[in-house]
C-alpha cells in the first residue's frame, strides 16, 4: 500500500501565500524602508557639515605629544591673536595619565619664530614664562606675547624636569596664525612670511558655509525623485 498523502499538511501549505505573491502585494515596502534610511543618513550628514562649517578654524586648542608628556596651547582671546596686540598664551602640560605638570616642576623655555626660518636662526621673541591659572589648570606655564606682524609663527616650548619631577624632556612646536590688528591696514601690510594680508578675520566666508549645505539639499532632492520614480 502506498502511504496516504498528508492532507492536513497540504491544506496548511495551500492556505499560505507564496513569497513571490507577497512581494507583488507589497512592492513598495522595501523601497519605503530603504528610502527612510537614506533620508536619515543624508540629514545626519547635512547636520554634520553645518556644525563643521560653522566652526572657526582658529578656535580649537592645539595639542602636541612628546614622550610621556602632552601639551595643549591656548592663546587668548579665542586662539585668534592679532598683530601688535598683547596675547596671553598658556601651555597645559600633563603627564601620561592626566597629572598636570606645573611650571614649578619644569625648567621650561619659550621661543617664537617667524616662519619660514633657517636652522640655527635666533628666535624672534623669547617671552618670559610665569605660572598662570587657566580653566581647570593651576600654576601652568604662561606668557604674554606680542606678535609684531600678521603671518604664521612657530612657538617652541622646551622643558626638562627639575629635581624631584618625573617626566622625560620634551620639545613642542605649535604653529600659530596671527591676523592683522584692529588698528592696522591689513590690505596693504606685508606679513612676516612675505605675503599680503588680505583681511583681519580668520572666519570662513558666508559662501563657503552655504555651498556644502545647498549641495546636500540638492542630493537629497535627487535621491527622493529617483526613489519615487522606481516606486512607480
**Using N-to-C axis directions, what is the helix angle for 206-231 and 29-53, rounded to 10°?**
180
Pairwise CA distance, residues 122 & 112, whole Å: 9
Locate 232 and state its grid cell.
512607480
Query: Given this model, what pLDDT does residue 39 score?
Result: 60
3-class DSSP string for 125-171: ECCCCEEEEECCEEEEEEEEEECCCCEEEEEEEEEEECCCCCCCCEE
DSSP 87: E
- State the CB neighbour count (10 A cutoff) for residue 58: 18
pLDDT per residue as tens digits for the range 26-37: 444 554 445 556
pLDDT per residue as tens digits for the range 80-131: 999 999 999 999 999 988 899 999 999 999 999 999 999 889 999 999 999 9
pLDDT per residue as tens digits for the range 140-158: 999 999 999 999 999 999 9
Going by C-beta distance under 8 Å and a sequence separation of 6 or more, which residues neighbour residue 28? 231
Whether the Cβ atoms of residue 161 and residue 120 lie closer than 8 Å to each other: no
Please indicate, yes or no, whether the overall pTM of this predicted structure exceeds 0.75. no
Query: Given this model, what pLDDT does residue 142 score?
Result: 97
Amino acid at each position: 500500500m502506498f502511504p496516504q498523502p498528508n492532507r492536513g499538511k497540504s491544506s496548511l501549505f495551500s492556505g499560505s501565500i507564496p513569497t513571490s505573491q507577497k512581494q507583488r502585494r507589497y512592492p513598495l515596502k522595501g523601497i519605503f524602508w530603504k528610502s527612510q534610511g537614506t533620508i536619515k543618513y543624508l540629514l545626519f550628514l547635512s547636520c554634520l557639515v553645518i556644525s563643521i562649517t560653522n566652526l572657526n578654524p582658529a578656535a580649537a586648542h592645539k595639542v602636541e605629544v612628546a614622550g610621556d608628556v602632552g601639551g595643549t596651547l591656548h592663546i587668548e582671546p579665542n586662539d585668534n591673536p592679532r598683530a601688535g596686540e598683547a596675547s596671553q598664551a598658556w601651555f597645559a602640560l600633563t603627564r601620561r595619565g592626566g597629572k598636570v605638570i606645573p611650571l614649578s616642576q619644569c625648567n621650561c623655555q619659550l621661543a617664537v619664530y617667524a616662519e619660514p626660518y633657517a636652522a640655527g636662526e635666533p628666535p624672534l621673541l623669547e617671552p618670559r614664562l610665569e605660572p598662570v591659572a587657566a580653566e581647570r589648570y593651576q600654576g601652568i606655564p604662561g606668557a604674554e606675547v606680542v606678535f609684531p606682524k600678521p603671518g604664521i609663527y612657530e612657538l617652541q616650548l622646551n622643558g626638562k624636569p627639575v629635581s624631584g619631577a618625573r617626566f622625560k624632556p620634551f620639545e613642542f612646536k605649535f604653529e600659530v596664525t596671527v591676523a592683522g590688528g584692529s588698528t592696522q591696514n591689513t590690505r596693504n601690510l606685508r606679513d612676516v612670511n612675505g605675503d599680503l594680508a588680505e583681511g583681519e578675520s580668520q572666519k570662513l566666508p558666508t559662501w563657503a558655509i552655504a555651498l556644502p549645505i545647498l549641495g546636500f539639499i540638492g542630493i537629497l532632492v535627487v535621491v527622493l525623485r529617483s526613489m519615487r520614480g522606481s516606486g512607480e
